[in-house]
Structure 1
Amino acid sequence: MRPPPGCLEVRLLAKQETLGQRRADFKAGLRAYGLITLGVLIFALGMNFFLAPNKIAAGGVSGLSVVLLHTFGFPPGITMLVLNIPLFLFGARVLGASFGARSVFGFVTLSLAVDGTAPFLPTLTEDPLLASLYGGVLMGIGSGLTYRVGGSTGGTAIAARLISHYTNMSVGRALLIADGVVILAAGVAFGPELALYGLLAVFLTMRVVDLLEEGAPYVKAALIVTDVAEEISAKIISDLGRGVTSMPAQGMYTKQDRNLLFVTLYQDQVGTLKQLVHEVDPDAFVVITDVHEALGEGFRSLR
């Protein structure tokens, strides 16, 4: 018995919509991994052209790898990979699977890019000030591009999240402490002057990342208008480890009842949030805004 013509048309339309969504998701994923690859290559250029040959440790795992390169001769890319893997595994265990495949791709590709390009890149300047300026800017551009699509270069960003998880300290302050430890190690290894240049490079990197992330505050808030609030909330809770508040809302133009979700999250989780919302509800409306201060569970203590 043949199905009614109308049912066949509905099935064909549904199949076309599914195929169209898959193509769109594939293109979005391809763009994301392309931007991550571009970002880590720019990051590697900043390290190999400017920072590593001039003994400037710009904080983080990359800065620590520069210290170990000039102290023990360890290849910086391999050092970064060896340090990032346990950080990632411990972070995923404690904080949940909020880092995702893009973060793994990011720090693994970065390690390969740093060691793979080093033999072919000359030192562009031996002036530590110029090296700090240009190296910091390039690393900031690379990191910012990676963060925008939910990727990560690993390192002290994960360590800072772990410190914040076990203490009442904000992530921003924990990040400064983690980077500060690396700067101190560079001061012991290379002297105070080069450590100060490293501090300058850290500042420039963070400022450029802030500009690319469209806002300096490390904490963001998201408002999501959707018809599938339960599914999106479940994904946010499981993938990002963040709480969600749901409120009833009505579109004043369409007069349709919908759900409004409110989420507070870290800046480096914004890319992952946009990705998962798009996967669950491509028609959702999302607003991302800056948060001056977040107090309570998952952030700084109210005390």
Structure 2
Amino acid sequence: MVKQKKKVKTVYKFLFLTIGAILASIGLEIFLVPNNIVDGGINGISIITSYLTKMPLGVFIFVFNLPFLIFGYSQIGKTFVISTLYAISILSLGVSAFHTMPSLTQDPLLAAVFGGIIIGIGVGMVIRYGGSLDGTEIVAIILSKKTAFSVGEIVMFFNLFILSSAGVVFGWDRAMYSLIAYFVAFKVIDLTIEGLDESKAVIIISDKPDEIAEVLMARLGRGVTFLEGQGGYSKQAKGVLYSVVTRLEVSKLKSIIDEIDEEAFVTIQDVHEVLGGRLAKKAIH
């Protein structure tokens, strides 16, 4: 039974890696490439090199990413590298298959926006299911462990270099359209990974923890965990509650707390993913 579930999960994973890579290839070949707009990372370098040499884009995407995958095999992990290799292979085949298809628009702004959206969905889907479509992210992860720079800062440095190169090759107006495409894709990747139904982690410190917990479970249908706390100044015991709610329930939660204890201390933070432990949603009274 366990093996069967594992096989289904693996098939499910590679199905979405395939869909994500195909979507990214559509965004590249149907929108960006025909309008001389580049993507970030290795794909951007591949677009520029393909334009200068007149050789197939798919070949450069695969060949340029391969050294990064070999470099990251022992550093990051076998599963991630295999998933990334598979996704990049599908991307390379995809851009080759879609290369003969005409662009859906000749307007560079529309191409940048819609290309960015489709690429963002594709890349986000691949990342969500354990892979990547860009070898520079692997290097960035490794370098971030050995330097003071974060993964985001290293990736940004790579992309600034690539966009500057695009300005030299295609003209600075195309470099600016490329920046728009990159920004749109970046935002859509976040939406795809995190989802639209964003969750919030709530910590409540109150003198009436039992009453608040009872009402939250009854009116929001959310589980509540009791923690032990102590006031730093008063040294008195404090009731601390922890719960996770959706973005749309935050206003109702604040109202409930205010009704019961106006002096309660509340912190609310973004949560990227929630696994298990959630109660079935009940109707809000």
Choose the corresponding residue for 2:110, options 113, 116, 130: 130
The question of whether the paired residues in 1 share the 8 Å contact of 2:167 and 2:174 is answered with yes
Tell me: CA distance 1:84–1:179, structure 2 relative to 1, closer, same or farther (3 Å).
Answer: same
- Asked whether 1:189 is paired with 2:169, we answer yes
Choose the corresponding residue for 1:39, options 20, 26, 34: 20
Once the 2 structures are TM-superposed, how far is the Cα of residue 289 of structure 1 from its aligned partner? 4.0
Once the 2 structures are TM-superposed, how far is the Cα of residue 98 of structure 1 from its aligned partner? 5.9
Deviations 1:104-140, CA, capped at 9 Å, x for gaps: 2111111111112212x21111111001001111000
User: Residue type matched to 1:195 in 2?
Assistant: A
The question of whether the paired residues in 1 share the 8 Å contact of 2:194 and 2:272 is answered with no
Q: TM-score, normalised on structure 1? A: 0.63
Q: Where does 1:1-303 land on structure 2 (aligned, <5 Å)? A: 20-97=1-78, 99-119=80-100, 121-214=101-194, 289=271
What is the rounded CA distance, in whole Å, between the counterparts of 2:42 and 2:2 in structure 1?
38
Once the 2 structures are TM-superposed, how far is the Cα of residue 163 of structure 1 from its aligned partner? 3.1
The question of whether the paired residues in 2 share the 8 Å contact of 1:160 and 1:178 is answered with no
Q: TM-score, normalised on structure 2? A: 0.66
User: Residue type matched to 1:84 in 2?
Assistant: N
Moved over 6 A (4+): none
Once the 2 structures are TM-superposed, how far is the Cα of residue 87 of structure 1 from its aligned partner? 0.7
Once the 2 structures are TM-superposed, how far is the Cα of residue 96 of structure 1 from its aligned partner? 4.4
Identity of aligned residues (%): 33
Once the 2 structures are TM-superposed, how far is the Cα of residue 194 of structure 1 from its aligned partner? 0.4
Tell me: CA distance 1:22–1:97, structure 2 relative to 1, closer, same or farther (3 Å).
Answer: closer
Tell me: CA distance 1:28–1:94, structure 2 relative to 1, closer, same or farther (3 Å).
Answer: closer
User: Residue type matched to 1:76 in 2?
Assistant: L
Larger of the two Rg values belongs to structure = 2
Deviations 1:68-106, CA, capped at 9 Å, x for gaps: 122111211110111111011112234444624212211
How many pairs are equivalent? 202
The question of whether the paired residues in 1 share the 8 Å contact of 2:22 and 2:122 is answered with yes
What is the rounded CA distance, in whole Å, between the counterparts of 2:11 and 2:77 in structure 1?
25
User: Residue type matched to 1:175 in 2?
Assistant: V
Q: Secondary structure at the match of 2:15?
A: helix
What is the rounded CA distance, in whole Å, between the counterparts of 2:144 and 2:31 in structure 1?
32
Q: What is residue 224 of structure 1 aligned with on the other side?
A: none
Once the 2 structures are TM-superposed, how far is the Cα of residue 179 of structure 1 from its aligned partner? 1.2
The question of whether the paired residues in 2 share the 8 Å contact of 1:137 and 1:204 is answered with yes
Once the 2 structures are TM-superposed, how far is the Cα of residue 181 of structure 1 from its aligned partner? 1.1
The question of whether the paired residues in 2 share the 8 Å contact of 1:62 and 1:155 is answered with no
Q: Secondary structure at the match of 1:157?
A: helix
User: Residue type matched to 1:177 in 2?
Assistant: F
What is the rounded CA distance, in whole Å, between the counterparts of 1:95 and 1:22 in structure 2?
25
